[in-house]
């Protein structure tokens, strides 16, 4: 971690949120004078691990962003969002399929899906995605785990498309 990067991020947070250094000190439990030293434009002090953790927690940012930058933090967040959104949409799709197989087949009526407004579905699915994201973080899911999941999903989709095309183009399906 370069001192300049951390110092500029702290100044950016202060300015973006309209905080004073005293506000930041109250939020983090780090003395104002120490924060001033962390935020200097040149010759800034480098905080220790406990202080970096207090900064991240107190200022409401991730350690990844604070220490490594937006690119590194953003990719992990993107993968978590992708996986949890995929799972939430699969839940909706499976519910619709189950309902349409066991009823008169009316899934959408009066702009509602299975009798529920779209906003209700969105709220439920986003809450599920949020819960799954928290679970992924709590169990220590790694970026490698998420990239493996993404690759396996892509391979499965390719396999499904190949099977579908094969069935559509086979001689028995054209008769």
0.75 surpassed by pTM: no
Domain borders along the chain are: 3-68, 70-173
pLDDT for position 114: 83
3-state secondary structure 95-131: HHHHHHHCCCCCCEECCEECCECHHHHHHHHHHHHHH
C-alpha distance across the termini of the chain, in Å = 66
Mean pLDDT of 123-147: 85
Q: Region 97-112: what's the mean pLDDT? A: 77
Top mean pLDDT of 48-62, 78-92, 106-120 is at 48-62
Burial (CB count <10 Å: 0-12, 13-18, 19+), residue 152: exposed
Q: pLDDT per residue over 5-20, tens digit each?
A: 889 989 999 999 999 9
CATH topology assigned to domain 3-68: 434 Repressor (Amino-terminal Domain) (1.10.260)
Q: What is the mean pLDDT of residues 57-70?
A: 83
Please say whether the beta carbons of 2 and 42 come within 8 A: no
Residue 18 bridge partners (DSSP):
none
């Amino acid at each position: 971690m370069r001192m300049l990067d951390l110092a500029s991020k702290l100044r950016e947070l202060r300015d973006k949120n309209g905080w004073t250094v005293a506000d930041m000190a109250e939020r983090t439990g780090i003395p104002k004078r120490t924060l001033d030293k962390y935020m200097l434009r040149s010759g800034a002090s480098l905080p220790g691990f406990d202080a970096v953790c207090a900064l991240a927690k107190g200022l409401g940012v991730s350690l990844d962003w604070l220490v490594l930058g937006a690119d590194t933090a953003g990719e992990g967040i993107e993968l978590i969002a992708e996986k949890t959104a995929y799972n939430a949409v699969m839940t909706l799709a499976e519910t619709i399929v189950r309902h349409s197989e066991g009823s008169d087949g009316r899934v959408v009526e009066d702009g509602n899906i299975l009798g529920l407004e779209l906003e209700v579905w969105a709220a439920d699915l986003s809450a599920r995605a949020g819960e799954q994201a928290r679970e992924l973080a709590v169990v220590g899911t790694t970026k490698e785990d998420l990239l493996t999941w993404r690759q396996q999903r892509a391979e499965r989709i390719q396999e499904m498309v190949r099977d579908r095309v094969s069935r559509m183009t086979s001689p028995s399906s054209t008769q």
